[in-house]
Structure 1
Amino acid sequence: MRHTVKITATLAAAAALTLGLTACGSDSGSDSKADANAPLKVAASPTPHADILNYIKDNLAAKEGLKLEVKEFTDYVLPNTATEDGQVDANFFQHKPYLDDFNKKQGTHIVPVVNVHLEPLGLYSHKADDLSGIKSGATIAVPNDTTNEGRALQLLADNGLITLKDGVGTSATLADVEDAKGLKFKELEAATLPRALDEVDAAVINGNYAIEADLKPAQDALALEKAEGNPYANFLAVKEGNQDDPRVQKLAKLLNSDEVKKFIEDEYEGSVIPAFGAAS
């Protein structure tokens, strides 16, 4: 039986306050007293991250002598603040552009360990059957965090729905939309986007939230990011200095194993794509 702890986004304000009080005095080094035999506590988004971790916990961890404790978080802030202040040992939910932006803005010291998978960002609609159904005057919801909004706008531009200023790429903001082609935009927290589909004409949704909402990115998306050359691989991350924790290294090895690759391919059928390798 799984004992997975769920922590909701309602604690975000408290966590942010805690970070503010502790960050100035925090040490970016490792905890030299970490017990190599203690359970490794990992914060993760429910799907697919916690699903992958629970597969490892139930099927692979014991063989490596790893005790794994999975803590589910439903937002994109708490996993990093909890890792920074030591509530958890690691997290698994984010990509490098998001982490770089978070560390810069929050003064945290989180670093990637190993890449695991890619969740292609997609454009979804309950009102249009294909891209031609997105007409002038339509409202498209996009994630309101810096990195995912830029990524969403790039997806729209790649599919001819908008035109962005030259050179902005995935760092684009709404101010960089050179030609909206009559479209309107609504900025929402990434986790709420699936619930907004009935209120807007279309929404650009992160892969994990799409899957949680029973959307199948490989089938349901009107447009989907390409995997080739994509910088948004999701990875295992820790506080700087903890990369060599033996427990972390065991989990990194398992996350890049043949067994996990098969689990991802069988479970998500192209909606989540293995993207193994060293994270930089």
Structure 2
Amino acid sequence: MSLKRKIAAALLATTATMSLASCGGKDKDTIVIGATNTEKPQWDVFKQEAQKAGLKIEVKNFQDYNIPNRALTDGQVDVNNFQHMMFLAQYNVETGSNLVPIGATEIYPLGLYAKDAKSVEEVAKAGEVAIPNDATNQGRAINVLVQAGLVKLKGGQRLTPTPADVDPGASKVKVTPVDAAATATAYLDGKPAIINNDFLINAKIDPKSAIAKDDPKAPQAQPYINGFVTKPEHQNDDKYKKLVEVWHHPEVQKAIDESTGGSAVHVTMDGPQLTDVLHKTEDSFRKENNK
């Protein structure tokens, strides 16, 4: 289902949520943050450190990933923190919105794992890598292999390449798309595989054992940097910028490391820098999807 359809499907639920939220009102000095998975320990630490920094915040949890941006657009939250720039770019392009990042938080790398290989060279000898077949992770997985020097694309860099874009003659491995859950199974069966964090945890694979993973500094990985997001008129608000500073407090970072098994890569990038990444991602998304 396209992002646009998902947003439409969630709209009814969003409206009900917004109506309830608006009844209570809010303190004008309180920054309301929309997020998902707020049960993770870093959020409690973040709230404590925000209070110490003199910020009044309220964190609203959303179960559906399509609602926090709508809530921000409609003014029911002031900021959100749950998404990477690829997701935001798709939202902005599909809905005609212009939400912008305040600053980066982290990137959750997509890694290459192999039981019987310890290096990229050994993976090349295996000759094949299993990758997730869903649209978002498939393109990202191929770009991880591009960054690792295992795959070359026919037409140069693409935001969301498919197996059809892989140049088999110039590549060192063949990519085999499988269901995302089956990537961990492929790994356990001895085949190199690109596996995302959720399935790593379920399969009890150590994230630190990745042979290669996203490099936040590489152009192919930058669309997957997460960040605090708001409306353009608030991007340079000092109170909102302070949220990013607090998120990078050592105690918050420690909590993130503990909850992700050390797999999160912390990224320091300010609003204008991350906005540049966002705009480039939006342009590429429009071009590749004829928007």
TM-score class, shorter-chain normalisation, is: 0.5 to 0.7
- Partner amino acid for 2:112? L
User: Which residue of the other structure, out of 129, 132, 155, is the alignment partner of 1:142?
Assistant: 132
Give 1:197's aligned residue. Answer: 184
* CA shift in 2, pair 1:67/1:227, >3 Å: closer
Give 2:152's aligned residue. Answer: 163
- Cα distance in 1 between the residues matched to 2:172 and 2:247: 43
Query: Which one has the bigger helix percentage?
Result: 2
User: SS of 2:269's equivalent?
Assistant: strand
User: Which residue of the other structure, out of 57, 60, 72, is the alignment partner of 1:67?
Assistant: 57
Kept in 1: contact 2:102–2:230 (CA 8 A): yes
Structure 1 residue 104 and structure 2 residue 90: aligned? no
Give 1:235's aligned residue. Answer: 227
| Cα offset, 1:236, TM superposition | 0.7
Give 1:251's aligned residue. Answer: 243
| Cα offset, 1:223, TM superposition | 2.0
Give 1:35's aligned residue. Answer: 27
Listed as ranges, the gaps of 5+ residues in structure 2 are: 15-24, 276-291
TM-score, reference length from structure 1: 0.66
TM-score, reference length from structure 2: 0.64
* CA shift in 2, pair 1:184/1:172, >3 Å: closer
| Cα offset, 1:226, TM superposition | 2.8
Which is further off, 105-114 or 36-45? 36-45
User: Which residue of the other structure, out of 109, 119, 124, is the alignment partner of 2:113?
Assistant: 124
- Partner amino acid for 2:184? L
- Cα distance in 2 between the residues matched to 1:120 and 1:225: 5
User: Which residue of the other structure, out of 156, 171, 174, is the alignment partner of 1:183?
Assistant: 174
- Partner amino acid for 1:224? K
| Cα offset, 1:115, TM superposition | 0.9
Kept in 1: contact 2:109–2:264 (CA 8 A): yes
1:89-131 alpha-carbon deviations (Å, 9 max, x no partner): 4322323233223311233332111112232221235x65445
* CA shift in 2, pair 1:177/1:111, >3 Å: same
Map 1:255-270 to 2 at 5 A: 255-261=247-253, 263-264=255-256, 270=262
Kept in 2: contact 1:54–1:70 (CA 8 A): no
- Cα distance in 2 between the residues matched to 1:177 and 1:19: 38
- Cα distance in 2 between the residues matched to 1:239 and 1:111: 6
Query: Which one has the bigger strand percentage?
Result: 1
Aligned-pair RMSD on alpha carbons? 4.1
* CA shift in 2, pair 1:19/1:266, >3 Å: closer
- Cα distance in 2 between the residues matched to 1:110 and 1:208: 28
* CA shift in 2, pair 1:107/1:174, >3 Å: farther
Structure 1 residue 92 and structure 2 residue 84: aligned? no
- Cα distance in 2 between the residues matched to 1:214 and 1:106: 39
Kept in 2: contact 1:122–1:205 (CA 8 A): yes
Kept in 2: contact 1:116–1:235 (CA 8 A): yes
- Cα distance in 2 between the residues matched to 1:16 and 1:54: 32
Kept in 1: contact 2:31–2:78 (CA 8 A): no
- Cα distance in 2 between the residues matched to 1:209 and 1:256: 27
- Cα distance in 2 between the residues matched to 1:215 and 1:88: 37
- Partner amino acid for 1:96? M
| Cα offset, 1:34, TM superposition | 6.4
